[in-house]
Amino acid sequence: MNKINGNLKQRFVQPEELYSFIGKVVTLQGSVYKIRLMSGFAFVILRTKRSMVQCIYSQEFACFPLENIKEEACLILTGEVVAEERSKTGYELRMLDVEVLSSPVEESPVVINNKCMETSLETLLDFRPITLRNEKERAIFKLQEGICRGIRQFLTAQQFTEIHSPKLVYAGAEGGANIFKLDYFGGEAFLAQSPQFYKQMMVGVYERVFEIAPVYRAEKHDTSRHLNEYISVDFEMGYIEGFEDIMQMETKLLFEILEFLKTEYTFELKLLNVKLPAITEIPAIAFTEAKQLIAQEYNRAITDLEDFEPEEEKLLYELIKKKTGSEFVFVTHYPSKKRPFYAMEDQENPDVTLSFDLLFRGLEITTGGQRIHNYEEQLNKMKRRGMNPEAFESYLMIHKHGMPPHGGLGLGLERFTSRLLEQTNVRYSSLFPRDMKRLVP
Amino acid sequence: MNKINGNLKQRFVQPEELYSFIGKVVTLQGSVYKIRLMSGFAFVILRTKRSMVQCIYSQEFACFPLENIKEEACLILTGEVVAEERSKTGYELRMLDVEVLSSPVEESPVVINNKCMETSLETLLDFRPITLRNEKERAIFKLQEGICRGIRQFLTAQQFTEIHSPKLVYAGAEGGANIFKLDYFGGEAFLAQSPQFYKQMMVGVYERVFEIAPVYRAEKHDTSRHLNEYISVDFEMGYIEGFEDIMQMETKLLFEILEFLKTEYTFELKLLNVKLPAITEIPAIAFTEAKQLIAQEYNRAITDLEDFEPEEEKLLYELIKKKTGSEFVFVTHYPSKKRPFYAMEDQENPDVTLSFDLLFRGLEITTGGQRIHNYEEQLNKMKRRGMNPEAFESYLMIHKHGMPPHGGLGLGLERFTSRLLEQTNVRYSSLFPRDMKRLVP
């Protein structure tokens, strides 16, 4: 019998510490990202966990032939750290010896080591397992990790409890036909469109909850902003005075995410040349008012009274940016018809709900609002909509047994990332996107 | 147009701060957990985000009749904080006035405010939306949050990158028939049994990755340790020297989780009377050796040469605990036949793999091991198993284009929580468990 202990030993030098090893011989691990042949020597860029290390190969000091290493080979490299003013890092690593742990059997079918990936979106995604090795591609998802860390740090400090709700469900929360169905041991199950029912249930337990998890929409939209599986950042909070409390919490959340990125992800922000939006205050405008404003300013006819056209979202963004400087805008008081059965209506005007969307750089990234907490009110609204309350018995338990006034929101992680990076397609911010035509890799 | 700012104001006093308000009148929010009538007065326990607050109702100081408040009503309560030696907290809250925000329309069909839930597991789960309001029930999932926070804190410090891989997939990673299938826009999709392929792909990108997300097993097992949807904690790391590196990382991870809980979740640990296991070293024993040892010590016949029976797992736990004091045991070198096609075989004995399970208090909570990183080796193993490599083209891209030696593991979050709390059924540690018979709530 052996004993396994937890005394982790660092085997090699970390790339981030190299500067303090100038004049010394070190060993480190990584993949060969790029070999650039110069006259009489070569630059070898080593890809490590987060950063790239510039190495110099020359027969003057290396004890192995350059042919021994290929791009994408995995190495254990021994080299001398030498001060070098012309290097951005202030040093370079002279390659003395390598141990090749593995070597690719074929050349890459697509060039992955240029500054940017110069391929079509389709090729980028077809070869995702290797195109993600590109420096900028991987920085996108490192930054996305940072966004999630920022969210968790902030919401935890605000006393939200993180939960895990099931994605195999008995009923859809959002209604409609856009739901994936599967055989479940002879019965029928659905894939959750949102954790709506569960996060509301959990408000009765912890007052404030959040979840970061996949949700599923069987939408047949083949657009630059739809995914059929995406990561939804959901929070829900009790004891609110109005739906403005939710918007305020989101405003602060977004502010804190960006502050977190500035501190912990400067490397990726710089590499991707991210223009961070300013968030001090976010303008809020009622849906009808926004519709009219766009119609007036751009001399457009209003064709859809109950929803924005994508073009209108972009115009609203331009308009608000011009008027206020903000790249975000809350649109409030959406028509009741367009909102789910659990949305609370405005007492003064039941045709509209106490709800909002948040648009960021012209794209809806959040939907939120206050929910009905009164049992009779919820029951009546369901009946008015021709729904069968018995099918929602377990959900209605919370209304029956006491719920505080509450509300919350869902933020699409890929959409937020995508607008932050000003990408032309949300797929660029999904590690392995799922759409009508894509299930592989 | 309004402006929403992020200046969050704390509306009321936080329950955790009450002690510093002795002698003062405060306002706070919460649900009425329990009303205990005494002679001439009543104890009213208020449930807040994390803790319970003991309040005193008496006509002497309250300006409202006790009948106004019911158990599970949501309140805004104004009261005077009075020093009280007999109270555990050192104070009590005298109720002066309340605003009732909502009141239950029916009495709870199941008693939820006793020390422990005294119901069958079935009733507990049928009424989950309200039974989770029980003090100890909710503490389980608060503690589970703490486990996840501990994991993230440790793995992030160890330079693992957190990823989100898709759960709608084109092929199962674990093989076999235990996979949910669904119609995907006229084609076929599956629910991921594990993020295996994706986390390996991402090792080629970031060297070290982890994910905490749901996975799906269509197993027809109706046992106390199986769930059809569960949260899998997965990590995968490159540049390992052997599969022992993975076990060592897990040993340290487990140690750090418990340290984190001791610091941040003392309240729940105490409430649930958790006996934390000691983790300094974890014994590791080869599968065949373990089989023989159990057979010898307990005078049992070995019937299944390739797997443990549940009874054997329990006996091994007893045996190891007796011999070493450890409540954990790694079992290594599982038969190749029983491990998936990506498992690396022992060079000296290809009948066994460089893999392990971790048993905790008699239950398997982790499966892990080293993976094949060489393209030819992986291809040959697939062919030997009668698999069609073309069906795994995108997965094999990583082997073709350079992968470091690597390995990882999957830890079942509910199983770990459940053994930590010494529960008799893993369902107690799943917020809304999914099994063959249960999809609701």
pLDDT at position B173 over 80: no
Pairing of strands A406-412, A363-371: antiparallel
Q: What is the pLDDT of residue B172?
A: 76
Q: Chain A window 17-36: which residues touch B at a Cβ cutoff of 8 Å?
A: 29, 31
Q: What is the pLDDT of residues A259-308, one digit of tens each?
A: 999 999 999 999 999 999 999 899 999 999 999 999 999 999 998 989 99
Strand, coil or helix: B67: helix
- What chain A holds in terms of domains, given with CATH numbers, is 15-102 (2.40.50.140), 135-429 (3.30.930.10)
Q: Across the interface, do A239 and B156 touch by the CB < 8 Å criterion?
A: no
Question: Could you tell me the pLDDT band of residue A334, with boundaries at 50, 70 and 90?
Answer: very high
Does residue A203 sit at the B interface (CB-CB below 8 Å)? no
Does residue A255 sit at the B interface (CB-CB below 8 Å)? yes
pLDDT at position B1 over 90: no
- Give dist(CA B102, CA A374) in Å, integer: 7
Closest by Cβ to B165, choosing from A376, A400, A432:
A432
Q: What is the pLDDT of residue B345?
A: 97
pLDDT at position A322 over 90: yes
The nearest CA of chain B is from the CA of A24 a distance in Å of: 23
Q: What is the pLDDT of residue B177?
A: 78
- Give dist(CA A232, CA A366) in Å, integer: 9
Q: What is the pLDDT of residue B218?
A: 96
Question: Could you tell me the pLDDT band of residue A73, with boundaries at 50, 70 and 90?
Answer: very high
Contacts of A141 in chain B (CB under 8 A): 161, 163
The nearest CA of chain B is from the CA of A122 a distance in Å of: 14
CB B407 within 8 A of CB B237: yes
Question: Could you tell me the pLDDT band of residue A150, with boundaries at 50, 70 and 90?
Answer: very high
Cβ contacts from A onto B, under 8 A? 345
Q: What is the pLDDT of residue A88?
A: 86
Q: Across the interface, do B142 and A165 touch by the CB < 8 Å criterion?
A: no
- Give dist(CA B335, CA A33) in Å, integer: 37
Q: ipTM surpassing 0.95, yes or no?
A: yes
Q: List, in sequence order, every residue forming a beta bridge with A335; answer none if it has no partner.
A: A352
- Give dist(CA A216, CA A231) in Å, integer: 9
- Long-range contact list for B18-22, CB < 8 A, 24+ apart? B18/B53, B18/B81, B18/B89, B18/B91, B18/B93, B19/B81, B19/B89, B19/B90, B19/B91, B21/B81, B22/B81, B22/B82, B22/B83, B22/B91
Strand order in the sheet with A168-169: A168-169, A187-191, A181-184, B181-184, B187-191, B168-169
CB A250 within 8 A of CB A362: no
pLDDT at position A87 over 90: no
Which structure tokens are listed for B436? 């063959």
Which residues contact residue B10 at a Cβ distance below 8 angstroms, ignoring those fewer than 6 apart?
none
Which range has the worst mean pLDDT, A59-63, A170-174, A318-322?
A170-174
Which residues contact residue B304 at a Cβ distance below 8 angstroms, ignoring those fewer than 6 apart?
none
Question: Could you tell me the pLDDT band of residue A339, with boundaries at 50, 70 and 90?
Answer: very high
When the pLDDT of each residue in chain A is averaged and rounded to a whole number, the result is 96
CB A62 within 8 A of CB A25: no
CB A93 within 8 A of CB A56: yes
Amino acid A429 reads S
Q: What is the pLDDT of residue A269?
A: 98
Question: Could you tell me the pLDDT band of residue A54, with boundaries at 50, 70 and 90?
Answer: very high
* Closest chain A residue to the Cα of B230, Cα to Cα: A166
- The number of residues making up chain B comes to 441
Backbone angles phi, psi at B80, to 5 degrees: -105, 130
Strand order in the sheet with A2-5: A2-5, B281-286, B328-332, B355-360, B363-371, B406-412, B229-238, B208-216, B161-162
Strand, coil or helix: A55: strand
Which range has the worst mean pLDDT, A81-90, B140-149, B239-248, B397-406?
A81-90
Q: What is the pLDDT of residues B39-80, one digit of tens each?
A: 999 999 999 999 999 999 999 999 999 999 999 999 999 999
Share of chain A above pLDDT 90, in %: 95
- Give dist(CA A376, CA A396) in Å, integer: 10
- Give dist(CA B215, CA B228) in Å, integer: 8
Q: What is the pLDDT of residue A271?
A: 98
- Give dist(CA A52, CA A44) in Å, integer: 10
Q: List, in sequence order, every residue forming a beta bridge with B52; answer none if it has no partner.
A: B47
Average pLDDT over residues B409-435: 98
Say which DSSP state B439 is in: -
Q: CA A299, A304, A305, A309 torsion: positive or negative?
A: negative
Share of chain B above pLDDT 90, in %: 95
Average pLDDT over residues A362-376: 98
CB A291 within 8 A of CB A244: no
Amino acid A177 reads A
Which residues contact residue A22 at a Cβ distance below 8 angstroms, ignoring those fewer than 6 apart?
A81, A82, A83, A91
Contacts of B149 in chain A (CB under 8 A): 152, 156, 162
Q: What is the pLDDT of residues B11-39, one digit of tens each?
A: 899 999 999 999 999 999 999 999 999 99
Which residues contact residue B163 at a Cβ distance below 8 angstroms, ignoring those fewer than 6 apart?
A141, A145, A431, B195, B198, B199, B202, B206, B209, B210, B211
Three-state SS annotation for A396-439? HHHHHCCCCCEEEEEEEHHHHHHHHCCCCCHHHHCCCCCECCEC
Q: Which of A133, A135, A68 is nearest to A95 (CA)?
A: A68
Q: What is the pLDDT of residues B395-405, one digit of tens each?
A: 999 999 999 99
Q: Which of A323, A408, A326, A415 is nearest to A364 (CA)?
A: A415
Pairing of strands A281-286, A181-184: unpaired
CB B371 within 8 A of CB B199: no
Q: What is the pLDDT of residue A374?
A: 98
Which of A117, A205, A247, A394 has the most B C-beta neighbours within 10 Å, making it the best mutation to test the interface with B?
A: A205
Q: In sequence order, which ranges of A83-134 are alpha helices (DSSP H)?
A: 121-126, 128-131
Question: Could you tell me the pLDDT band of residue A126, with boundaries at 50, 70 and 90?
Answer: very high
Average pLDDT over residues A318-337: 97
Q: Which of B423, B35, B392 is nearest to B200 (CA)?
A: B392
CB B249 within 8 A of CB A2: no
Q: Across the interface, do A441 and B133 touch by the CB < 8 Å criterion?
A: no
- Give dist(CA B240, CA B344) in Å, integer: 13
pLDDT at position B174 over 80: no
Q: What is the pLDDT of residues B321-340, one digit of tens each?
A: 999 999 999 999 999 999 99
Strand, coil or helix: B110: coil
pLDDT at position B413 over 80: yes
CB B220 within 8 A of CB A185: yes
Q: What is the pLDDT of residue A176?
A: 74
When the pLDDT of each residue in chain B is averaged and rounded to a whole number, the result is 96
* Closest chain B residue to the Cα of A198, Cα to Cα: B129
Q: Which of B175, B192, B158, B171 is nearest to B408 (CA)?
A: B158
pLDDT at position B264 over 80: yes
Does residue B101 sit at the A interface (CB-CB below 8 Å)? yes
Does residue B111 sit at the A interface (CB-CB below 8 Å)? no
